[in-house]
Structure 1
Amino acid sequence: MRHLSVLGKYFWKYRLRLSAGILFVVLSNYFSVLSPQLMRFIINYVDKALSLTKHDFVENAGEYDVLVQKVIRWIDQERTVAQVVVVGSLVILGLALLRSFFMFLMRQTIIVMSRHIEYDQKNEVYAKYQQLDTSFFKQHRVGDLMNRIAEDVSRVRIFTGPAIMYIVNLVSVIALSVFFMLQSSKELTFYVLIPLPLLAIIIYFVNNTIHKKSERIQEALSDLTTNAQESYSGIRVIKSFVQEKNMFEFFRINAETYRKNAISLAKTEAVYFPSINLLIGISTLLTIMIGGLYYINNEHNISLGTIVEFVVYVNMLTFPVSAIGLTASMVQRAAASQKRLNEFLDIQPEIQDSPDAKDVKLEGNIDFNNVTFTYPDTGIVALKNFDLHIKKGEKVAITGRTGSGKTTVAQLLLRMYNAQEGSIQFDSIPIEQIRLASLRNQISYVPQDVFLFSDTVENNIRFGIPHASKEAVREAAKIAGLEKEIEGFANGYDTMIGERGVTLSGGQKQRISIARAIIKDTAIVIFDDCLSAVDAKTEKEIMSRLNPYLEDKTAIIITHRVFSLLQFDRIIVLDEGAIVEQGTHEELMRIPDGFYARLYARQQEGREE
């Protein structure tokens, strides 16, 4: 239960709904427990009036509820036996209607409250996802993250709604019923309640088992969800390598694990719930047997009405007491889910605004001062004693072998990671003193791995500037060399893009990503190998249009290829996280057997072929 204590803030937020809901539960059960008392009165009244038995019992008005006493006085006013029965039955019907009315209000408050809490929790979890840094998402599977915001939050909602309702219902029904049972006959109440301690012991031991099995089910479900999500996303790769059978086998193993855990829990509950009903049935039998013996022997002032009253009370307790198991299962599952949510929500992102961070207008000067960075999840040293100084308006190309640290430069500039050693500055201001939102809003970034959303072409381009005009979208598409192709789509800029851009070619996806960066029109532009999927002709077209666009901007082009159409102020050659060559194209070409010279030669040979 301690894991669920964090929900207190939501209960306080919706305290009026919760308080009203609890009141309606109590009122509903209050009118419910009055009916057995009226039944007792009517049966005893008929018994005495018609002299059905010769037993002498004293009708003590003090054993009835105050409201019932008033109703009895009203009913018992020079009426015939038939009239008393009819009027009493109508009053019982009225009590049932009142109970139903308050049950309706109860669900309108508590269940609606649980939906509000579910909404708030999902927003909280999603907001947390947005705060966490890149390293977190590298270490956690998408399926597990989806399971937390969907399955775990839903199970917690079951606790904040139905479980709370059942708990209050259970407490109020038992309290009211036992109170009036004691008022009616202490001796009979004692025997009727004998099975309840045994019930409490069973619940205590079985709940621990249910809790452990619920946690295993959640873990298995996360694995299953991850497996399915990866298969859906990589279906083209699976089909191209003819691995459908193997992937199905992986899914089957995960599904089998989930099935076994779910069946194990179902078997536990299958024994649990009937056991509770058995104990309730024993209580009913004890009521009839012992009450009947008291009545036959004319002991303890037990009447036929008292026996009927107790049988109704016991049956009234059947659902609440049997729901102890269901409610306990809900609470245990919710606790297991909330524990997973708490572990996630308690994670503090490594990348966050420092207390002295502020909004800064970036001019375009960038300084890497002796920066060393090692990826925390792999231990790979990406940059070593890296020094790079870029002036406002400079065009810098960064090239090198795969794994040389090129993309890491972009990741550090966007502060997706913090450098372990050295410092990064914009306009002589340490990057840690610039608010993350301010920093990233002022950098146009085209990532190496293009990601498009399941939305229209236009909305994907204006993703960074939601209120950008249609003219700005079309201008960005034109510079990215995509305007003619978009106009050729069936719905033009309103064409829907499939998940992750599956309906587009690799080159089209890259150019939409370029247009998305261009439309931001920032002082700093970072292109990370963004033209690898386009042909030479399209590359020339894009580069010729980028030249005027980049004229007054600080541009960092990360690439494996050499762009002869774009004049770079400097070309940086990286190898194993360090700068091995730097200079203009002409200067680097003069280095004998230089890395850049060999790269350029191979590229030219490829084009001639």
Structure 2
Amino acid sequence: MKELKHLNKYLLKYKWLLILGFIFLVISNYFGVWPAKVVRYAIDYVTDSFRVYRLFEGSGLSESVFDKLEVGVLILGGIMILMAFLRGFFLFLVRQTIIVMSRKIEYDLKNEVFEQYQNLPLSFYRKNNTGDLMNRISEDVSQVRMYLGPGIMYGINLLVLFPMVIYEMLRVNVELTIYALLPLPVLSLSIYFVNNVINKRSEKIQESLSDLSTSVQEAFSGIRVLKAFVREKDSAAKFANESEKYKHRSLKLTFVNALFFPLIMALIGLSVLLTIYIGGTKVIQGEITYGNIAEFVIYVNMLTWPVTALGWITSINQRAAASQKRINQFLQETNHIQSTENLQRDIKGDVSFDNVSFVYPDSGIRALQNVSFDVKAGQSIAIIGTTGSGKSTIANLMLRLYDSSSGSITIDGKDIRAYNISNMRDQMGYVPQDVFLFSDTIQNNIAFGSNSISYEQVVQAAKDADLYDNITDFPKGLQTMLGERGITLSGGQKQRASIARAIVRNPKILILDDALSAVDTNTENTILNSLSRIMKGRTTVIISHRVSSAKLADKIIVLDDGKIIEQGTNESLLALNGVYKELYDKQLKEKESVE
């Protein structure tokens, strides 16, 4: 239960809802206990009235007794209806306080978890898969809410109702109370163990359902490949196998569920039988009345659900503690990427790398080693290299998605760690290698970086990225809705939309991470012509494996295995007749062969 201590701050926040819920539960149970007394009084009243009626049967008094009996029964019936109404009303208030409190805490907890996700560094997401992150903010939080809502509500109900009912039962007869309660602990333990079995089998079913969903998703996502390789039958067989597992586990759960209610009813029935049998002997001995037996049966039935709920609540608390432990693991994660001075100012764009080395913390791979270069404000630099040479790592370090392992990175002569991270990134434009577009309109995707971007700015950015003419071909133009991950657009269109999203913010530093890898040569030339105009007045970092993109830059560096092996201008590197010249000639031949 120590894991659930994290929730105490929320219970304190909504303490008045919890206190009111407790008060309403006490009042509700008070009106719940009284009908048993009324039933006892009614049965004894009817029994005594019939005894008097038979005593004076045939005389005028018998009719008077019968009339009074009718009036008395109606009054007692009215009292019971009133008690039931009052109990129901206060139960409604209980749910409007405790259950509402649990929903409010669920809302706060989800926001806390999501905000933590937003604050954690990129390295955190490399270590954890998306499915696990989704599960903790949805399924785990839902399990915790069950503890905060039904768990607390039924727990308090048990603590309140049990003493009230036991007190009333002991007042009538101690021995009968012991016999009536004898099966209830067995019932609670049985429910606890059966619930555990149900939970374990339910988890197995969830795993099977997850596997089944994954199988279906892969089949639908890769339907072209399936058909092309004529593997439909194999795919159907795989689905049938997963379905068989799901069916088998579901039937095992159904078997346990089939035992659940018969077990409850058997133990409740045993308790009622003991009450009637022992109570009957007490009536014969003159210790109690017929009404007391009926009263006890009602009390036993009143205690059945709270005692049954005890095992259920224990199970809920265990699951909630396990879920909260998983949530706490993420909430206790810290973001080591922090600002040292929280410096907020307009940047000019002078960028300097001084002996920067970087090792990825999760994999231990050395991506950069003693990399040094300078870019003056308004100038451009191209970083050329093969896959895995460390090009994208430079972009990640400039954006402070990671911090360098050694060496220093400065912007305008100030260490990058001193800047307020949000303020610094707000003045940068970034086009990632792996383009991600949201399920929204094209306009909103381009204007994603700021809420103050106008329609005219979006249009201009689309034109600069050579995307506008494509957009006008769509029936709804910029208001065209994109599918998941921008599936509505082609690869080249998605990349150009990403470029438009970066340049519409008018950034001081523009980082293009292999931004033209998915476009053809003609489109590349068009975008490069636009970029030469866009790059004026802002620092631009062009990361690419294409030499054609590097021609625009004032300075070029060539990376290999995380080290700078060549640097200079396009002309000087060609004259050097080294790696850059080799790449240039190779790509020139490929271009000529395509043409």
In structure 1, what is the Cα distance between the partners aligned to 2:322 and 2:246?
Answer: 16
Name the counterpart of 1:608: 592
Please give the per-residue CA displacement for 1:538-590, whole angstroms capped at 9, x wherever unaligned. Answer: 21211112212211111000011123795321110000000000000110011
SS in 2 for 1:463: helix
TM-score by length of 1: 0.88
Name the counterpart of 1:82: 70
How far residue 521 of structure 1 moved from its aligned partner, in angstroms, is: 0.7
Give 1:536's aligned amino acid: T
Q: Which moved more, 1:268-277 or 1:390-399?
A: 268-277
In structure 2, what is the Cα distance between the partners aligned to 1:210 and 1:4?
Answer: 23
Question: Cα RMSD over matched residues?
Answer: 2.9
CA, structure 1 residues 446+276, in 2 after alignment: closer, same or farther (shift >3 Å)?
Answer: same
How far residue 113 of structure 1 moved from its aligned partner, in angstroms, is: 2.0
CA, structure 1 residues 381+117, in 2 after alignment: closer, same or farther (shift >3 Å)?
Answer: same
Name the counterpart of 1:364: 349
Name the counterpart of 1:33: 33
CA, structure 1 residues 101+456, in 2 after alignment: closer, same or farther (shift >3 Å)?
Answer: same
In structure 1, what is the Cα distance between the partners aligned to 2:445 and 2:187?
Answer: 60
**Aligned length, in residue pairs:** 583
In structure 2, what is the Cα distance between the partners aligned to 1:236 and 1:336?
Answer: 42
Contact 2:359 2:405 in 1 (8 A): yes
Please give the per-residue CA displacement for 1:263-314, whole angstroms capped at 9, x wherever unaligned. Answer: 666655655554344332221111100000111122xx21011111001111
CA, structure 1 residues 136+444, in 2 after alignment: closer, same or farther (shift >3 Å)?
Answer: same
Please give the per-residue CA displacement for 1:130-173, whole angstroms capped at 9, x wherever unaligned. Answer: 11222221222222222222222222222222222222222222
Q: Which moved more, 1:136-145 or 1:500-509?
A: 136-145
In structure 2, what is the Cα distance between the partners aligned to 1:375 and 1:231?
Answer: 34
Identity score, percent: 49
CA, structure 1 residues 122+521, in 2 after alignment: closer, same or farther (shift >3 Å)?
Answer: same
SS in 1 for 2:547: coil
Give 1:343's aligned amino acid: Q
- Is 1:107 paired with 2:95? yes
Name the counterpart of 1:462: 447
How far residue 324 of structure 1 moved from its aligned partner, in angstroms, is: 2.7
Name the counterpart of 1:62: none
Q: Which moved more, 1:280-289 or 1:18-27?
A: 18-27
Contact 2:339 2:421 in 1 (8 A): no
In structure 1, what is the Cα distance between the partners aligned to 2:246 and 2:403?
Answer: 39
Give 2:312's aligned amino acid: L
- Alignment match of 1:597 (pick from 578, 581, 584): 581
SS in 2 for 1:359: coil
CA, structure 1 residues 452+388, in 2 after alignment: closer, same or farther (shift >3 Å)?
Answer: same
CA, structure 1 residues 355+51, in 2 after alignment: closer, same or farther (shift >3 Å)?
Answer: farther
Name the counterpart of 2:59: none
In structure 2, what is the Cα distance between the partners aligned to 1:175 and 1:227?
Answer: 53
Name the counterpart of 2:420: 435
- Alignment match of 2:331 (pick from 341, 345, 348): 345
- Alignment match of 1:411 (pick from 396, 412, 415): 396
Name the counterpart of 2:378: 393
SS in 1 for 2:576: coil
Name the counterpart of 2:277: 289
Name the counterpart of 1:309: 295
Name the counterpart of 1:498: 483
Contact 2:465 2:497 in 1 (8 A): yes
CA, structure 1 residues 231+22, in 2 after alignment: closer, same or farther (shift >3 Å)?
Answer: farther
Contact 2:187 2:264 in 1 (8 A): yes
Give 1:409's aligned amino acid: I
Which runs of 5 or more residues in structure 1 are unaligned? 55-76
Contact 1:272 1:325 in 2 (8 A): no
In structure 2, what is the Cα distance between the partners aligned to 1:255 and 1:340?
Answer: 29
Name the counterpart of 1:61: none
CA, structure 1 residues 246+509, in 2 after alignment: closer, same or farther (shift >3 Å)?
Answer: farther
In structure 2, what is the Cα distance between the partners aligned to 1:228 and 1:367?
Answer: 50
CA, structure 1 residues 28+232, in 2 after alignment: closer, same or farther (shift >3 Å)?
Answer: farther
- Is 1:334 paired with 2:320? yes
In structure 2, what is the Cα distance between the partners aligned to 1:341 and 1:252?
Answer: 35
Give 1:494's aligned amino acid: Q
In structure 1, what is the Cα distance between the partners aligned to 2:248 and 2:362?
Answer: 33
In structure 1, what is the Cα distance between the partners aligned to 2:127 and 2:381?
Answer: 32
- Is 1:169 paired with 2:157? yes
Name the counterpart of 2:470: 485
In structure 1, what is the Cα distance between the partners aligned to 2:218 and 2:9?
Answer: 36
Which runs of 5 or more residues in structure 2 are unaligned? 55-64
- Is 1:94 paired with 2:82? yes
Please give the per-residue CA displacement for 1:472-519, whole angstroms capped at 9, x wherever unaligned. Answer: 000110100111111111100000011001111111000000000001
How far residue 35 of structure 1 moved from its aligned partner, in angstroms, is: 0.4
Q: Which moved more, 1:583-592 or 1:140-149?
A: 140-149
Contact 2:188 2:311 in 1 (8 A): no
Q: Which moved more, 1:561-570 or 1:304-313?
A: 561-570
Name the counterpart of 1:72: none
SS in 2 for 1:311: helix
